[in-house]
Structure 1
Amino acid sequence: MSNEGQKSQQSEEVDLGQLFKVIGRGFDKLFKFIASIFIGLYRLVIALLSHFYRRKLWYGLAIVIGVVIGFVVDSKSDKLYGANMFIETNFKSAHQVYENVKQLHQLAIDKDSMRLSKILGVDPSQASKLKGFYIKASIDENQVAEMYSEFYMKLDSLSRTTMTFDRYLGSLHATDYPEHQIGVASTNKSIFRLIESRFTNKLIDNPYLENLVITNKRNLELEENALKSQIQKTDSLANEYLKIRINESRKDPVVGSGTNLYLAGDNESQGLLMDESKVIEKRLNLEELRREVNLRKAEEYGVVNVLGGFPETGYDIREWTDKMKFVFPLVLFALTLGMFSILGLGKFLENETKK
């Protein structure tokens, strides 16, 4: 029994030794594979550096020629200028605004300068300088949170359990936001102020929306006049109350006597003496409502509110890829590299065929 136990123990030791040798060879191969990758990358970098060093004059000449040609082309080509306008839409007019901007953009792409000049009130030569009209929602995270809170409060208890903020945010479209950024591109940097007035009128070119603005103004005027009338009546009531107070103060006090003044529908049913602070509080509330009406008259003055108009002149909106002084050197550098690569490949194939 002891001999069998010793043999079994020796067999287990041999198996473990072989296992460790296999693991060691695996790690050795792994490390050699990783090392071969770094060695290959090192050789590739050295080969490229050696290639560029031997032909540095060719590559330098290609870059210099590219820069010179790029500067010449840029000097003879028109620059592209841009400017932005920020607006706030009222009366659910965002759909109409987006459609009108898309129409103007299509006219600019089609180079229909005659129609653009008629719409924007500029000469056809100036309208031909317009290259594009763009619009996107101006998203403010705080404003979106307020929109979600207002929307969430209108939901019933069942809908609230499923309507998360992420789901609400995913359901929004560009036209659902109140503020928008409109961009105009042109090769004339001074045209933006010239088209601003007619451009804004074009954004709201819709009879229904225009009539809605007129009706809203009338309603606000009526509401303001009603508030003015209530304020005047409240002031008269306060003055009468003050006169009664003065007269009462001049009389000799009699126990159980006095003058009661009531507001209709307020304390009369309860038979309570009217406190003058109630009159003052009511007048303050009416003044607050009047200020709100005045604010609405300013905010809802038109279909769109121009939060920020076009600047006096535009600014260069070209990307680096639009500037030939950067593009041509890269192109010539790539062509030079491709030429030498083809020549090197040809020599390699020629040597292979001779073997």
Structure 2
Amino acid sequence: MNEDLSKNQPPSDEVDLGQLFNAIGRLFERFFRFIGSIFTAIFSVIIFILKVIIDNFKLIFAVLIGAFILGYFIERSQPVVYSSQLLVKPYFDSKYQLINNVNYFNTLIKTQGYEELSNVFKIPLESALELKSFEVKPGPESDNDKAKAYGNFLESIDTSSARTITYKEFIRNRDIYSSVIFEINVESTKKDIFKNLEEGLNRTFRNTYSERMKQRRDTLIAIQKSNILASLTSVDSLSKVYIAVLREESRKGATKISFGEGLSFEPESKSKTKEFELLEREIVLRNKLAKLDEMKVEEDSFFDVVSSFQEVGNITSKFKDRYTILFPLIGFLVLTIIFMIKRTIKYVRGYER
């Protein structure tokens, strides 16, 4: 009889496996119940807010209309703000001075230092009073420009470090000082002031450090050009010597020494080879000289203007100045919060009873 009971009893492994599945099932059931409770709570809050809005719809609508009218009149009373952009490409690290000066201009506006602004930009004081803000930010940059900047960055560091820095990390870690082209945005209540600001902004690129860098660059170019010209003179002299040798050999007649079938030696072939090497050397030197001239022409000033200010600025409108939207939105939120607090207090008092 005991043998029959032992045969009918399931193995312990099957019992453990069944308990495991039951535990997993209960775990998933609790998880989905928890997720459902979250959605139920969110739905209840939405319904609660909608009920408050519907119950007080007339008052909320009246406040929204009043806030819109008030915002409209305040918005109309504000002066129209115009903006224009200047795209520049700084050289010799003058971008640091540019960014520093733009921050200085904004400080002058905040502290009402309009006389200093008038002196900097050589404009009347009345025009300086119209200035509202200056902003400098990275200019437009294509994907090819970013890839080129990444390649230049990899060339400037050692191989082991280059392997650890990906393209995405490089782009993510760039800041405003990593840009090549900068956009200067100016806001003013005077629509045609922007062209008069260019001369003053142009002077912001000049500083002692940038001037020293430019002077050092020009000195190095002059030294390199002098060395290249001296090398070209030497190459030219040697070329004349080899040409004279070739002419002398041609005048005397070519001499050919044979050592059997298919094997011969011409003395003048060595002179021809040397002349060809000198010609190649001259081409390389002249290419280097041309690159130096191009470098000096391309970066002959502290900056290049990529795109100038417009004669008349564009009307600009920021969200913080859109009172016809802000006032109704603020009024709606304030009323909704007040009604919800009142409803909550009423519910709590009723719950205590």
Q: Pick one of 148, 151, 158 that aligns with 2:153.
A: 148
Q: Deviations over 1:213-250 (max 9, x none)?
A: 467557767877998999999999999x99xx9x99xx
Aligned runs of 1:245-260 on 2, under 5 Å?
A: 255-256=253-254
Q: How do residues 26-41 of structure 1 correspond to structure 2 at under 5 angstroms? A: 33-41=34-42
Partner of 1:85: 86
Alignment of 1:130-169 (within 5 A): 130-138=131-139, 140-152=145-157, 155=158, 160-163=159-162, 164-166=164-166
In the alignment, which residue of structure 1 is the partner of 2:183? Answer: 181
**1:102-251 residue pairs with structure 2 within 5 A?**
102-138=103-139, 140-152=145-157, 155=158, 160-163=159-162, 164-166=164-166, 174-175=176-177, 177-204=179-206, 206-207=207-208, 209-210=210-211, 213=214, 216=217
Aligned length: 332
Alpha carbons of 1:352 and 1:222: their partners in 2 closer, same or farther (altered >3 Å)?
closer
Runs of 5+ unmatched residues, structure 2: 256-267
Indicate the residue corresponding to 1:62 in structure 2.
Answer: 63
1:278-308, Cα deviation, whole Å (9 max, x unpaired): 7876675565445424422332211222233
Counterpart-to-counterpart distance in 2, 1:165 and 1:286: 37
Q: 1:321 maps to which residue?
A: 320
Cα–Cα, structure 1 residues 23 and 301, in superposed 2: closer, same or farther, change >3 Å? closer
Q: CA separation in 2, counterparts of 1:179 and 1:320? A: 27
Q: TM-score of the superposition, structure 2-length normalised?
A: 0.70
User: Is the deviation greater in 296-305 or in 52-61?
Assistant: 52-61
Determine helix, strand or coil for the equivalent of 1:87.
strand
In 2, Cα distance between equivalents of 1:15 and 1:87: 75
In 1: Cα distance, 2:220 partner to 2:36 partner: 81
Could you tell me which residue of structure 2 aligns to residue 304 of structure 1? 303
Determine helix, strand or coil for the equivalent of 1:111: coil
Shift of 1:198: 1.6
2:99 alignment partner, SS class = helix
Deviation, structure 1 residue 113: 0.4
| Paired amino acid for 1:142 | A
The residue number in structure 2 matching 1:260 is none
State whether residues 109 and 132 of structure 1, in contact with CA within 8 Å, keep that contact through their aligned partners in structure 2.
no
Go from structure 1 to structure 2 and tell me whether the alpha carbon gap of 1:23 and 1:150 turns closer, same or farther (over 3 Å shift): closer
Return the alpha-carbon distance in structure 1 between the equivalents of residues 156 and 277 of structure 2.
Answer: 35
Checking the alignment, whether the CA contact within 8 Å between 2:52 and 2:339 is kept in structure 1 is no
- Note closer, same or farther for the CA distance 1:37–1:102 as it changes in structure 2 (3 Å cut): closer
Q: Which secondary structure does the structure 1 equivalent of 2:149 belong to?
A: helix
Query: Does the aligned pair in 2 maintain the 1:119–1:202 contact within 8 Å?
Result: no
Provide the C-alpha distance between the structure 1 equivalents of 2:252 and 2:300, rounded to a whole number of angstroms.
Answer: 59
The alpha carbon displacement at 1:327 in A equals: 0.5
Pairing 1:336-355 to 2, within 5 Å after superposition: 336-349=335-348, 351-352=350-351, 355=353
Describe the superposition over 1:57-105 as per-residue Cα deviations: whole angstroms up to 9, x where unpaired.
Answer: 3232222222222221111113444333333332233333333333223
- Partner Cα distance (1:11, 1:161) in 2: 58
SS of the equivalent of 1:272 reads helix
CA displacement at 1:318 relative to structure 2: 4.0
Deviation readout 1:235-267 (Å, 9 max, x if unpaired): 99999x99xx9x99xx9x97439xxxxxxxxxx
Cα separation, 2, equivalents of 1:35 and 1:119: 65
The separation in 1 between residues aligned to 2:131 and 2:177, in whole angstroms, is 25
Structure 1 unaligned blocks of 5 or more: 258-268
CA contact (8 A) 1:299 1:305 kept: no
State how far apart, in whole Å, the 1-side matches of 2:23 and 2:222 are. Answer: 93
Which whole-Å CA distance do the structure 2 matches of 1:146 and 1:18 have between them? 60
TM-score, scaled to structure 1: 0.70
Quote the RMSD (CA, aligned, Å): 4.7
Are the equivalent residues in 2 in contact too, given 1:85–1:306 (CA < 8 A)? yes
Identity of paired residues, percent? 22
Alpha-carbon offset, residue 2 of structure 1: 1.1
Distance 1:189 1:150, change over 3 A: farther
In 2, Cα distance between the equivalents of 1:11 and 1:168? 59
Cα contact 1:101–1:203 (8 A) shared by 2: no
User: C-alpha displacement at 1:188, in angstroms?
Assistant: 3.0
- Equivalence map 1:248-287=2 (5 Å): 255-256=253-254, 272-273=271-272, 285=284
